[in-house]
A and B are shown apart, each in its own frame.
Chain A
Amino acid sequence: MIPELGHFALIAALFVAVLQALVPAYGVWRRDRRLMAVASSSAQTQFLLILFAYGCLTWAFVTRDWSVAYVAANSEASLPLMYRLTAVWGAHEGSMLLWMLMLTGWSAAVSVFNRRLPVDLTATALAVLGALAVGFLLFILLTSNPFTLNFPVPDNGRDLNPLLQDPGFVIHPPMLYMGYVGFSVAFAFAIAALISGRLDAAWARWTRPWTTTAWLFLTIGITLGSWWAYNELGWGGWWFWDPVENASFMPWLVGTALIHSLAVTEKRGQLKAWTVLLAILAFALSLLGTFLVRSGILVSVHAFATDPARGIFILTFLAIVLGIAFTLYAWRAPKFVSEADFELFSREGLLLLNNVFLVSAAAAVLLGTLYPLVIEALDLGKVSVGPPYFNSIFLPLTIPLAVLIGFASAVGWKRARAADVFKRLRVPAAIAVLAGCTLPWLLGHRTLLAAIGGGALAVWVIVSSLHEIVRRVRAKRDRLAGITQIPRAVWGMTLAHCGLGVWVLGITFTSLYSIEQNVRLGPGESATLAGYTFALKGVEPRQGPNYRADHGDVEVEYQGRVIAQLAPEKRLYDASGQIMTESAVDHTPLRDLYVALGEPIDRNNANGDWAVRLYYKPMMRLVWGGGVLMALGGLLAATDRRYRLARAAERAALSSEVAA
């Protein structure tokens, strides 16, 4: 009964979505406020319906309702409750439902928080979101229904993919989807702006917090995904330039560009057409990512099981949505060209350069991801484009970006005098060079040119960002007041930029100084790596809730002291028969020690010698720490009170305008 109700709720949601797409749009055309108001109520109704459907599917997982095909395929009786809850989005159908939940959640949020925006703008944006919901709901109902029933009902389920039975996975997809789907709000606002022809500072100010919020979720999602892969895939990798990773990274790069160009559009009223294009592109790349992951067109470690009908559906949907958006853009965007003065050496000029590099980087990722496809479509054989390509292309495109950051906060809007700026940045530059040269030595590594460069760049980003805060505080007589008067958005920007610095530092050191070793270890034997001695005490069988494991006991010694006990496991999951490598990590901010069990040398003797992988990875935590700082910075920026204050002021202005 419950699954049928869920299915019914999805169908009802489809009807509401059709209403949400059509009625407000008609209302905007007829200038009928009553019809426009349907947008809000239908967005909220739709959210409740999807929430209900989502609850039904969750219920089916909790109660182990094997009559639901999706539940039977992605769960089994002994699966712990936490993983039964997260299994809801563990495969294609359920993850689409989660996607819908996010989309309707964002739409409902727009309808609640933007109630006092110009009614026609909100109505248009919500109609666009409604149209997107129609597409996704049709996709779910026609090709990917999570409520499809099973006949006959099996005795047990087939189990959730063991890769997904990890705490990192509990929040990774929801965060990622919040980000992907969040860009649909910026997209909807962009379309509304194109339709209405109104694109002003107020529009940019409304769009900014939404975009920043979507961006911060995407940042968390990518960071968690990287952390999860590191723990679950068993070879110490944290980023592989896999098509699925790239699919999340491209919208992130364009979203980052969008956040910066929105600042120019808001403060200076420039780059309007470009900003609108970025808003469309960020969402376009989210859709493209969905297509790449779910159509099976590319080979990836994390791709969903595929069905050609789904690929064709998403491709058609993508073509329609983006076809309309880009046509509208080609038609209306020329109206937004601004002829106002624009100086390259000014904050807006540097933000434009920031966009140039970010978009080029995104284009590089897109090219590398799709190139094998192009070659194959042209029947030229098959090529692989992997980490060596992306790493060598990406560095020259992103290093200038990190250099620019230092200038961006020191250079004012409109124009700046180069001499002043350079004078102001002398101290951060000196600190950066000094730190870059000494860091490898201080941390006990060989001094490499790349480490000096990377370290200096990282410190430059951090120090120049903080320097700006110091300068602001110094400008006041009362230092304490100086600190409290710094707007939250500035704190957010500073924190996010520092996060980038921390991230650069982490990447530099972990990629230059990591050491890995494949060793053959028997019980009682040990191996030494980077001064750490890893002793395999033994491997013994363990019974987990739904798996059997070979449980290794590894003792790590450093300078004669035992500093960690690590327990890497090799798990055999009962229901699916899949083998998983559960690595064990000991970490401090400065280094990770990572152990993964390979295979027993003699297959039939788990007590004998094992192939063991050992990794020493300096500053690994900083890579994710940087991501967390960036997301926190986004959170501060998105919640700046000026958005609310400015909104109140606009509301007042608007009502007086209406009264006049």
Chain B
Amino acid sequence: MRLRYLLPAAALVGLVVLFAAGLHHDPHEVPSPLIGKPAPAFSLGLLGEPAKRYTADDLKGRPVLVNFFASWCAACEVEQDYLMQLAAQGVEIVGVDYKDSDEDASRWLARHGNPYRSVITDPQGAAGLDWGVYGAPETFVLNAAGTIVYKQIGPLDDAVWRTRIAPLMERGS
């Protein structure tokens, strides 16, 4: 048996290993290049208090979750219950109302619960663009230095919290 006739079989082994590894990845998730970087700068109004400015500096000093949500986002309803629980445990969550109108957002929060310490309004999605948001909900985990340490794409749930986020929060505080 000459070796080169074994090449197809060898290639097959390589491919099968690759695919077996690939099956564990979710192809729809795009990892953020912002992980490990400081939160992008912004200066936006608050819901109900449009005159007040909230900036990236206001996120520093303690670990914070920054949650991009919107009243038009059906998946956000799915995660709202869990965010309420987290808020009740004392986790600070800052909401960014993404590409939404203030009235719709207020009504939506009244109906589904408001877990947010502050709600920043981003009606044009400008901050969303700088943060690399491509849909709602997306949640960023910031440490006390204001550095992004994790990004959750899609609804946040208990499993993600326990396995991914809680350890980071503990290290951060």
| Residues of chain A having any CB pair with chain B under 8 Å | 273, 277, 280-281, 284, 288, 291, 295-299, 308, 311-312, 315, 318-319, 322-323, 326-327, 329-331, 333-334, 370, 373-374, 376-377, 381-382
Contact = CB atoms under 8 A, between A and B. Distances in A.
Interface string B2-15: 10011011001001
B1 A330 contact: yes
Given A330-B1, A334-B2, A297 B23 contact: yes
Contacts of B30: 382
B8 A281 contact: yes
Interface in B16-67: 16, 18-23, 25, 27-28, 30-31
A311 B16 CA distance: 12
Most chain B CB inside 10 Å of its own CB: which residue of A315, A322, A330, A381: A330
Contacts of B23: 295, 297, 308, 311-312, 315
Interface of B: 1-2, 5-6, 8-9, 12, 15-16, 18-23, 25, 27-28, 30-31
A312 to B, nearest CB: 7
Contact of B5 (A288, A319, A329, A377): A329
Contacts of A334: 1-2, 5
Nearest to A372: B27
Contact of B20 (A277, A281, A315): A315
A13 B143 CA distance: 60
A329 B8 contact: yes
B27 A322 contact: no
A382 B31 contact: yes
Given A334-B2, A373-B22, A377-B22, A319 B8 contact: no
Contact of B27 (A297, A330, A381): A297
A299 B31 contact: no
Contacts of A329: 5, 8-9
A381 B21 CA distance: 14
A315 B8 contact: no
A295 B15 CA distance: 14
Q: Is the interface of A mostly helix, strand, loop or mixed?
A: helix
B5 A333 contact: yes
Given A284-B12, A330-B6, A376-B22, 12 more contacts: A273-B5, A281-B8, A297-B19, A299-B27, A299-B28, A315-B16, A327-B9, A330-B9, A333-B5, A334-B2, A370-B15, A373-B22
B19 A291 contact: yes
Contacts of A374: 18
B18 A330 contact: no
Contacts of B25: 297, 376-377
Nearest to A280: B8
A291 B19 CA distance: 9
A329 B2 CA distance: 11
A280 B8 CA distance: 10
A277 B8 contact: yes
Contact of A323 (B1, B9, B20, B22): B9
Nearest to A326: B9
Contacts of A273: 5
Contacts of A376: 22, 25
A327 B16 CA distance: 15
Nearest to A308: B23
12 contacts: A288-B15, A296-B27, A297-B27, A299-B28, A315-B19, A315-B23, A323-B9, A323-B12, A326-B8, A373-B19, A376-B25, A377-B18
Nearest to B26: A296
A370 B18 contact: yes
Contacts of B22: 297, 373, 376-377
Nearest to B9: A326
Which 6 residue pairs spanning A and B have beta carbons closest together? A326-B9, A377-B21, A330-B5, A299-B27, A326-B8, A330-B6
A273 to B, nearest CB: 8
Nearest to A277: B8
A329 B3 CA distance: 12
Nearest to B25: A376
B32 to A, nearest CB: 10
